[in-house]
Amino acid sequence: MNIPNSSTAPAPGEYAGDEVSAIVLDPGYSTTRAGFAGEDVPKSVCPSFYGQIDADSSSQYLFGENAIHTPRANLQIKNPWGADGIVEDWETATKIWEYAITSRLTGTKPSDPTKNGLNDGTNANGDAMDVDMDAVENQEKPLEDSPLLVTEPGWNSAKAREKYIEIAMEEWGTPAFYLQKTGVLAAFASGKASGIIIDVGASHTSVTPVLDGMVLRKGVQKSPLAGNFVSNQIRLIFKQSQPEVPLTPHYMVKSKTQVDAGAPAQAIYRNFDVPPTDSFRRYEEERVLTEFKESVVEIWPGPGRLSNTGNEDIAKSMPGRPFEMPDGWNQVFGAERFRPAESLFDANAAIQDSENPRPKDEQTIPRLVQAAVQHVDADQRPLLLQNIVVTGGSTLLYKFNDRLNYEINSIYPSTRNKLIAPGQVVERKYAAWIGGSILASLGSFHQLWISRKEYEEHGANIVEKRCR
Amino acid sequence: MPPFKDEQIIIIAPGSETTVAQLGLPESFTPARLRVRSRMFPAQKEGEWEPYKVRRRQGKLAAPAGEPQDRAQNGEVAKTAIPDGDEDDVLYEEDRVSEEGAVWPIQEGRIVNWSCFFALITHVYNALNPPFHTPILLIAQPVWTPKEHEKLTQFFFEKFKTPAFGMMDAALATSWAYGVHTSTIVDVGKDKADVTAVSEFIPHTQGRVISLAGCGGEALTQALLSRLKSKGFTREMCEQLKKSPICEILPPDTPLPGTREASEPDNITNPAAAASTGAAGSGPAAASTIGNAPRGPGADTEVGDDTGAEESEGVLDVASIVTGGRMNEYLAKKEKEKQEKAAAKKKGGAEAAAAAQARPVRLPNSKREKATFLYEDHALLDSLKNMNLGSVKLAEAQATLDEGPQKKAHEEGADGEPTSALEANGNAEGPSMTSRAGPIRREIEVGTERFMAASNDVLERIADAVHRTISSVDEVNKRSELWDSLIVCGNGSRVRGFKEALLATIQSKYLISPSSATIFTSEIPSNISTPAGTGANTPQPQLGPHGGLGGLGGPSSQVNPLLYAATTAQTQHLMPPSSNLMMSGMSGISHNMHSSHGQTPTSIKFLKPPEYFPEWKEVGFDEATFLGAQVAAKVIFVVDQGQSKGYMTRPDYNDQGPTGIHDYSL
């Protein structure tokens, strides 16, 4: 077996070839996606939130959907991502990602092959099994036989990037590793090598210019006006409306009774000996808000902004949408339903209070796009504007694309602007993962993997050289 | 000619508690012929496994004389004397009932002990005794990972040399059984529940709730145990109580019999009958005085029980009395009791019959404060066996202790009692079993605790899981159809009233009622937005269920929806009469009334099980997974013949290795 270095191409099939054993991991603020390369959807989608129960001396960690939705005493819901869109708590993040990979893809650590039963009975039959057992031998680390492709946000720090490869190599024991930016991958998923990628996720909105498969680092823009911001706006609307809209998560309700619109709820509530923590409640409230976003919230499609003269009146005249809270309270939302997401495009429209100041103008999506395009050579701009890829779960807000289209056309009236927004919800939500899946299953991608040998030789900063 | 015939196909569906399997597809699909408890016993050599407990017995060599006879009589305690090389008088017997020291390789659906699991599968395979040319369809638990699928594929091809192998997801199999393309499947197993949304025959892997721990049958048993522990119940007793028909899960907020609310008149299910018999005010407490009290030892029973406190206290734990050396004493007492009882029965027979006739309405279980069930005491049998009694004496002791009416025992034996610990290999053993050979039965009385099996939030947690699963389905317009086609299967849901209570829990928590504010402006037009065959109305996602004409934009949005409805209605040839709409509109009549926006669920329903499987109708569709597996086996092995890659053949395996299974499994 020849020792690969940076100048020799690995032998075909060395890193499992086109087989589906390469794993693609796409961690995000809200969910962590993982799956085998070559498949069309991630098999494993786990919440990036985790539960923590502090006991006297040690803490118990809970991962995965099943564990964190059951109200338990002192259960706190946390997230390892920092406010700047970079992982903050590496230790737990590693555990969450490992959970995402092992729980649904590889299984928990396999037992010793001599005892796992696969080899049993061969002697009884007289003919030995002709199976290569080397691959499954001595497995102690979870990823020992799978190359790993991880996605990272475009603004990731050099330190964070090194951390990724350290985790993959040291803790998971992966034989080969690669790090790629979500923007590039999302573009690949749409079959584009160049374009502007608008990714509206949970914690951040980012705009990434990509040219020939390379991110223009200077041009990467991000802002916190994304899904969580919209949720927050909804909370403010609820709080400021008269009377206040009660936001009761499901776990508190035992059974509800039908009440008239706007009437106070008449539900039977559950009693807890130890009330669940605030963070748990907030996380469960988020589920209700997600439902609200799915079924009520709408973005003013244009023309013009919602605040433009006359538009509010039109919005008011549209029939409202009703929404029922878990405790039975229900109301019809008329023009209010346009307000939570309007500030993604128009900072003036943001609902504010003392704790939630007005977002800056340059944080709105149209301004982000403008700033990103500014960093690109003038002659490349038309090319990029023809390929505006829209991705991220929050772009599924109703009429998001109509509005975005309108905004971009009003900034760049003279170019041919084209939005590329996959109609399939899965493709929109998991675009970066899908791009990673395509990339990692390409035969020509093999030479890009950073092998374990290279890592051992050059250390963690090899990512800086190899994964641009 | 198809490559495989119906009678060659093997289906294996492993489960945490029971593994079911079958060789050959019958003309009309039947419940699985082979049922095996999913456990093995460690053999003497480590890493090897035995299907039955092997008990080492210091037998006097006198025993063999009586043994052949014995074996003929006792269906299930087959004794095999294996002379040991070193000691001549050491006997080994296979005990087919005992579960002492068993290893259960599947826990919460996961395979935790692979060598044991493979031994189990091998045992099942050998028990089926298949011919050489046998394709195998394996029903995969949702929790099994792709890597584990590969491992299984490798095992099946290498070990059994099977010519073809297919793997199918359990939830998908259930949806095949019901013959629907879109459904939400709640599979309640032993220690876990899986909730899967299947749309257009594709299970949603994202957001699927896999192996929700503590939500299976075992949780129900534990809930009973926690209530009854103070009364001397063991886990085994609770397990059998759970399986007996008197254990019932009542819909949420149903008052328990014996509590004050329950005896209020409005709780009488049949007021007319109650009035005519004058039993209205009686309530369950009164009812129990007129002859419902159980016969048997213990306080408050009908037949003369002058037993002291000391006895009634220890009555549950007969095993300890027996092993404690007081057996003969106890046996004599029991014998006497039995005779007395018989005498009392004879004497009071006529009166009792009259009384029974005078009592026209037998109270339903849910209204009775107390009830009894027959408990099969395996522990007692085990301890008897451990005492090395002679077989004759053993049988005698067994007969004396057995309280189950002979006839009843026979009946129960006859219908196979699939959940019993006996390994019913086909039906062969059931009928031939005499009541004497069976486990010792005793009657045990329980109070209202028997309604509290779901008291530890099992239903709420499953309900929440269903909500989460459906909410995570990305196609919002599919959700209401998913809500309308719930399937609850799995043997954990067999407990009486479980499904109804689950549905009631889900409904009381999640059902969205039509908003009073929009009832007239949107309910009707939203129905009209049902996509017509012509496609005329299809591109109108704005027409939400409640949302009305949300974003038509511009002037058209000001059209009165009712007017709009009336004008467009003419083009709708598919539309049901509008009177119908009004009548049933409240509960949400059609799936299509939900276009891309709007909250779900507006209605929640169970799917009706298919009508055309008479054999399944009798036993219920709790194991619908296996039915679906038969349908699938027929389709992929016989009808489709591998054209759509429903199974992997031996050459495929040789070419691609275990990883190839991902291209083939359903």
Instruction: Note whether B486 and B181 are within 8 A (CB).
Output: no
Q: Which residue has the higher pLDDT, B46 or A105?
A: A105
Can you tell me the mean pLDDT for B362-384?
Answer: 75
Measured CA to CA, the distance from residue A204 to residue B188 in angstroms comes to 39
A contacts of B516 (beta carbons < 8 Å): 260-261, 330
pLDDT tens track for B583-602:
333 333 333 333 345 787 88
B contacts of A296 (beta carbons < 8 Å): 597
Can you tell me the mean pLDDT for B435-457?
Answer: 74
- Residue A331 bridge partners (DSSP): A323
**What is the structure's pLDDT at B319?**
59
Nearest by CB to B114, from A44, A111, A318: name it: A111
B contacts of A42 (beta carbons < 8 Å): 206
pLDDT tens track for B243-266:
888 888 888 777 777 665 444 444
Is pLDDT of B138 > 70? yes
Rounded to a whole number, what is the distance in Å from the CA of A288 to chain B's nearest CA?
A: 10
Asked whether the beta carbons of residue A65 and residue B253 sit closer than 8 angstroms, the reply is no
In this prediction the pTM is 0.78
pLDDT tens track for B16-30:
889 999 998 988 888
Can you tell me the mean pLDDT for B462-481?
Answer: 89
- Residue B442 bridge partners (DSSP): B375
A contacts of B544 (beta carbons < 8 Å): 295, 321
B contacts of A129 (beta carbons < 8 Å): 158
Angle (CA) B664 B127 B380, round 5°: 125
- Please state, rounded to an integer, the average pLDDT across all residues of chain B: 70
Nearest by CB to A295, from B464, B553, B598: name it: B598
Asked whether the beta carbons of residue B518 and residue A320 sit closer than 8 angstroms, the reply is yes
Instruction: Find all residues with CB under 8 Å of A457, minimum gap 6, and list them.
Output: A5
Measured CA to CA, the distance from residue B434 to residue B417 in angstroms comes to 14
B206 located within any domain: no
Is pLDDT of B649 > 80? yes
Is pLDDT of B416 > 80? no
Can you tell me the mean pLDDT for A404-433?
Answer: 91
Maximum Cα–Cα distance for chain A, whole Å? Answer: 87
CB pairs under 8 A between A and B: 181
A contacts of B120 (beta carbons < 8 Å): none
Q: Which of B505, B512, B514 is nearest to B466 (CA)?
A: B505
pLDDT tens track for A388-410:
999 999 999 989 999 999 999 99
Is pLDDT of B269 > 50? no
Q: Which residue of A has its CA nearest to B154?
A: A118
**Reported ipTM exceeds the 0.90 cut:** no
Q: Which residue of B has its CA nearest to A132?
A: B657
Percent of chain B at pLDDT > 70 equals 59
B92 located within any domain: yes
Q: Which residue of A has its CA nearest to B110?
A: A107
Can you tell me the mean pLDDT for B445-470?
Answer: 86
Q: Is B307 on the interface with A (CB under 8 A)?
A: no
Is pLDDT of B123 > 70? yes
Cβ within 8 Å of A, B 173-212: 205-207, 209-212
Which of A149-163, B47-61, B525-539 is most confident?
Answer: A149-163
Q: Which residue of A has its CA nearest to B601?
A: A324
Q: Which of B3, A205, A185, B28 is nearest to A195 (CA)?
A: A185
B230 located within any domain: no
List C-alpha distances in Å: A193 to A209, A214, A300, A344.
11, 8, 31, 27
Rounded to a whole number, what is the distance in Å from the CA of A250 to chain B's nearest CA?
A: 8
Asked whether the beta carbons of residue B158 and residue A21 sit closer than 8 angstroms, the reply is no
Can you tell me the mean pLDDT for A69-89?
Answer: 90
Can you tell me the mean pLDDT for A303-310?
Answer: 85
Rounded to a whole number, what is the distance in Å from the CA of B37 to chain A's nearest CA?
A: 19
B contacts of A19 (beta carbons < 8 Å): 659
Number of compact structural domains in chain B: 2
pLDDT band at B391 (very low <50, low <70, confident <90, very high): low
Is pLDDT of A256 > 70? yes
Lowest mean pLDDT among A229-243, B219-233, B266-280: B266-280
Q: Which residue has the higher pLDDT, B323 or A112?
A: B323
Asked whether the beta carbons of residue B659 and residue A19 sit closer than 8 angstroms, the reply is yes
**What is the structure's pLDDT at A457?**
93
**What is the structure's pLDDT at B405?**
54
Please give the residue range of the domain that contains residue B76: 44-61+72-102
Is pLDDT of B216 > 70? yes
Q: Is B650 on the interface with A (CB under 8 A)?
A: no
Q: Looking at residue A103, what DSSP letter applies?
A: I
B247 located within any domain: no
pLDDT band at B420 (very low <50, low <70, confident <90, very high): very low
**What is the structure's pLDDT at B61?**
45
Can you tell me the mean pLDDT for B492-499?
Answer: 88
Is pLDDT of A416 > 70? yes
For B639-656, what is the HEC assignment?
HCCCCCCCCEEHHHHHHH
Is pLDDT of B333 > 90? no
Is pLDDT of A83 > 60? yes
Q: Which residue has the higher pLDDT, B376 or B439?
A: B376
Can you tell me the mean pLDDT for A219-247?
Answer: 91
Mutate to test the interface with A, among B161, B162, B205, B543 (most CBs of A within 10 A): B205
Asked whether the beta carbons of residue A319 and residue B145 sit closer than 8 angstroms, the reply is no
Is pLDDT of A218 > 80? yes
Q: Which of A288, A277, A286 is nearest to A327 (CA)?
A: A288
B88 located within any domain: yes
Nearest by CB to A104, from B145, B557, B597: name it: B145
Mutate to test the interface with B, among A139, A398, A400 (most CBs of B within 10 A): A398
Angle between helical axes of A278-295 and A227-240 (0-180°, round to 10): 90
**What is the structure's pLDDT at B283?**
39
B contacts of A69 (beta carbons < 8 Å): 464, 468
Lowest mean pLDDT among A433-447, B332-346, B618-632: B332-346
Nearest by CB to B553, from A108, A295, A301: name it: A301
Nearest by CB to B518, from A296, A332, A398: name it: A332
**What is the structure's pLDDT at B316?**
59
Rounded to a whole number, what is the distance in Å from the CA of A319 to chain B's nearest CA?
A: 6
Q: Which residue of B has its CA nearest to A393?
A: B474
Q: Which residue has the higher pLDDT, B623 or B454?
A: B623
Can you tell me the mean pLDDT for A177-187?
Answer: 94
Lowest mean pLDDT among A61-65, B52-56, B472-476: B52-56
Can you tell me the mean pLDDT for B483-491?
Answer: 92
B133 located within any domain: no
Is pLDDT of A194 > 70? yes
Percent of chain B at pLDDT > 90 equals 20
Domain ranges across chain A:
227-349
Can you tell me the mean pLDDT for B320-344?
Answer: 67
Asked whether the beta carbons of residue B147 and residue A117 sit closer than 8 angstroms, the reply is no
Rounded to a whole number, what is the distance in Å from the CA of B368 to chain A's nearest CA?
A: 26
Mutate to test the interface with A, among B599, B603, B653, B662 (most CBs of A within 10 A): B599
Rounded to a whole number, what is the distance in Å from the CA of B44 to chain A's nearest CA?
A: 15
Q: Looking at residue A251, what DSSP letter applies?
A: G
Is pLDDT of B526 > 50? no
B381 located within any domain: yes
Rounded to a whole number, what is the distance in Å from the CA of A468 to chain B's nearest CA?
A: 31
Asked whether the beta carbons of residue B145 and residue A103 sit closer than 8 angstroms, the reply is yes
For B455-494, what is the HEC assignment?
CCCHHHHHHHHHHHHHHCCCCHHHHHHHHCCEEEECHHHH
Asked whether the beta carbons of residue A116 and residue B253 sit closer than 8 angstroms, the reply is no
Q: Is B251 on the interface with A (CB under 8 A)?
A: no
B contacts of A249 (beta carbons < 8 Å): none
Asked whether the beta carbons of residue B517 and residue A42 sit closer than 8 angstroms, the reply is no
Mutate to test the interface with B, among A257, A332, A430 (most CBs of B within 10 A): A332
pLDDT band at A142 (very low <50, low <70, confident <90, very high): confident
pLDDT band at A5 (very low <50, low <70, confident <90, very high): low
Nearest by CB to B206, from A41, A103, A260: name it: A41
**What is the structure's pLDDT at B82?**
45
Asked whether the beta carbons of residue A295 and residue B549 sit closer than 8 angstroms, the reply is no
Q: Is B156 on the interface with A (CB under 8 A)?
A: no
In terms of Cβ atoms closer than 10 Å to its own Cβ (0-12, 13-18, 19+), residue B442 is buried
Can you tell me the mean pLDDT for A416-421?
Answer: 91
Rounded to a whole number, what is the distance in Å from the CA of A378 to chain B's nearest CA?
A: 37
Measured CA to CA, the distance from residue B657 to residue A190 in angstroms comes to 32
Asked whether the beta carbons of residue B119 and residue A120 sit closer than 8 angstroms, the reply is yes
Q: Which residue has the higher pLDDT, B397 or B10?
A: B10
**What is the structure's pLDDT at B347?**
57
Q: Looking at residue A387, what DSSP letter applies?
A: -
Can you tell me the mean pLDDT for B63-92?
Answer: 47
Is pLDDT of A363 > 80? yes
Asked whether the beta carbons of residue A425 and residue B474 sit closer than 8 angstroms, the reply is yes
Q: Looking at residue A265, what DSSP letter applies?
A: P
**What is the structure's pLDDT at B23?**
93
Homologous superfamily of A227-349 in CATH? ATPase, substrate binding domain, subdomain 4 (3.90.640.10)
List C-alpha distances in Å: B637 to A217, B11, B103, B161, B202.
55, 11, 34, 17, 20
